Structure 1
Amino acid sequence: MDDDEVRPLHSLSGQVAQLHRLDASLVERLRHEALTAPAPWKSAYGEYQSGGWWTTSLMNATGDAADVTIGDCTARPTDLLAQMPTAAALLADLGLSYMWVRLARLEANAFLWEHRDYDELDQVERHRLHIPLHTNSSAFLVTGGTKIHMAGGRIWRLTPTFPHGVCNLLGPDRIHLIADVYADDAYQHLAHRSQTHPASVEPLPPASRAELAERLAAARCLADLGYVDAAEQLLLRLFYAVAMPEGTGYDLIADLHTALGDAEAATRWKAAKDKLLARTAR
């Protein structure tokens, strides 16, 4: 490895895969339902996002679509799913054991920051499935130092125990149906129809130490002008542009605040790194 490169610590293998292909007319009906149903969109987990990320539940523990804080349960349909017959029929046809099913909407110029999910995977095997319904080429997932546009027309599997993040740079809104499911025979049947190397994959260039230092200096200039939030986001957005070891963006923000003489903020961002990259379900 070049001494000037700062490489990520893990590869793409096992993190994301394309599964079952869906009929185009079915996807269009699902998209229409997602765009027109009276969904009670809720913003949750604010510390994990830039703003602009909204969810609403189709299956959960309570049957209330506005209940979006995910927890382990045997999911039941919500009042919203009752108004989305195409989605309800697809979920029934798949025959999976659902923990939680939701719609997730990411607006233009919005980010889900680098994080990981699912502390319980060591106890109960479960998987996260994505069905893209409304998307664009500037909306992509980053995992394993790789940029992946989750294109429509398929069910995708994401293994969210690896650090990952999502962005939608230009819009329009990105809307996915996301199902957290328990491992069973129905899931194994679906998983066997997988393409482990999706076509829409682009490795990010490894970050150089000089590039990280330059970005940190630019953030310091913003902070000195009073734009501290913008400085922090400038560093967090590095995750979507270059491949870096886990948590590098958070470390850079802590370094920024240390240089500014704000020990409390530096400690807060170190704690944020520990929380966002710990294995906790959300």
Structure 2
Amino acid sequence: MRHEALTVPAERHWVAEYSQYQSGGWSTLSLMNNSGSPTDVRIADCVPVETTLLRQMPTTRKFLASLGLRYMWVRLARLSPNSFLWEHRDYDELDEVERRRLHVPLMTNSSATLVTGGKRVCLRPGHIWQLAPTHVHGACNLLGPDRYHLLIDCYSNDRLSELTASRWLDDADVVDLPVATDDEIQRHLDKALTLARLGYLQSAENYLLRLFYQQSLPEGRIYDLIAWLYDELGDDSAAREWRANKMARLGIDGSKGVA
């Protein structure tokens, strides 16, 4: 499966969808979806069909058939070096149907990790990793090489329950992020404000966004910090935009206010 992912035909152009959720460098191709086109990658509830790309990947096709799951969407995902998927929550726009996401790492490295709940997890090859994407999470690949995962979105059924009945997590794969103190947060804010006042607004935003992968912070605090940054700069429009970004990326209902 790794060989098939690394030798995707040249005419298949990887798609950088969900640009608002990433720094750039994260792209996907579909293997099962509602249209059969590999470049149709915006997931939705459906009864999927095989894409033309999956038909050229016999080992991956056989693996998916062997699992016996009720698939919703299946993709190849590539995360390039120095790339980030920012803190977010998935499935918010989909119907209230129980589903899970399975990650099958095909090629990775020690600097490619997933962060959720104040913990950093290294998803090692040789295992199927189950994720509940309704929990806030993010991913990064700091040093490279490219990280390739098979992403399987599937509906809950008896077969999935059977596969996950003996699930386990090795403590060696999990690192607790240090809890950020008020003094540390203020130092980070001061540094970001200095960058912004020098005209490096994008760098200031990215500096704060990357704190999610370095320290344990309350859910959504990163977005609050960026909004505060623009409050300090007197840019009310940008501050409102980042407060809206928080609500959109974390799936917060506007009628409930900001958490």
2:6 — aligned with what? 35
2:45/2:94 contact within 8 Å kept: no
2:44/2:94 contact within 8 Å kept: no
1:161/1:279 contact within 8 Å kept: no
* AA in 2 matched with 1:104: A
2:213 — aligned with what? 240
* AA in 1 matched with 2:213: Y
Distance 2:171 2:66 in 1: 25
For residues 6-33 of structure 1, the C-alpha deviation after alignment (integer angstroms, 9 at most, x for no partner) is xxxxxxxxxxxxxxxxxxxxxxxx1110
Number of residue pairs matched by the alignment = 251
* AA in 1 matched with 2:4: E
1:247/1:273 contact within 8 Å kept: yes
**Which one of 66, 73, 85 corresponds to residue 93 of structure 1?**
66
Query: Is 1:168–2:162 an aligned residue pair?
Result: no
| Displacement of 1:196 | 3.9
Give SS of 1:199's match.
Answer: helix
**182-191 vs 144-153, greater mean Cα deviation:** 182-191
2:150 — aligned with what? 177
Distance 1:140 1:261 in 2: 36
| Displacement of 1:55 | 0.4
CA separation of 1:263 and 1:120: change in aligned 2, threshold 3 A: closer
Distance 2:13 2:245 in 1: 29
1:67 — aligned with what? 40
Identity score, percent: 55
Give SS of 2:5's match.
Answer: helix
Distance 1:121 1:219 in 2: 35
| Displacement of 1:83 | 0.6
**Which one of 195, 220, 240 corresponds to residue 267 of structure 1?**
240
Matches within 5 A, 1:131-142: 131-142=104-115
Give SS of 1:119's match.
Answer: coil
1:58/1:80 contact within 8 Å kept: yes
1:55 — aligned with what? 28
Matches within 5 A, 1:207-246: 207-246=180-219
TM-score, normalised by the number of residues in structure 2: 0.94
Distance 2:135 2:196 in 1: 31
- After superposition, the CA RMSD in angstroms is 1.4
Distance 2:213 2:150 in 1: 22
Give SS of 2:226's match.
Answer: helix
Unaligned runs of 5+ in 1: 1-29
Give SS of 1:154's match.
Answer: coil
**Which one of 144, 157, 161 corresponds to residue 117 of structure 2?**
144
Distance 1:120 1:159 in 2: 15
Distance 1:257 1:189 in 2: 49
**Which one of 224, 227, 231 corresponds to residue 254 of structure 1?**
227
2:257 — aligned with what? none
Give SS of 2:183's match.
Answer: helix
**Which one of 181, 200, 220 corresponds to residue 173 of structure 2?**
200
Structure with higher RCO (Cα < 8 A, 6+ apart)? 1
2:256 — aligned with what? none
Query: Is 1:126–2:93 an aligned residue pair?
Result: no
| Displacement of 1:193 | 2.8
* AA in 2 matched with 1:34: A
1:115 — aligned with what? 88
CA separation of 1:279 and 1:160: change in aligned 2, threshold 3 A: farther
1:117/1:279 contact within 8 Å kept: no
Give SS of 2:135's match.
Answer: coil
Distance 1:52 1:122 in 2: 29
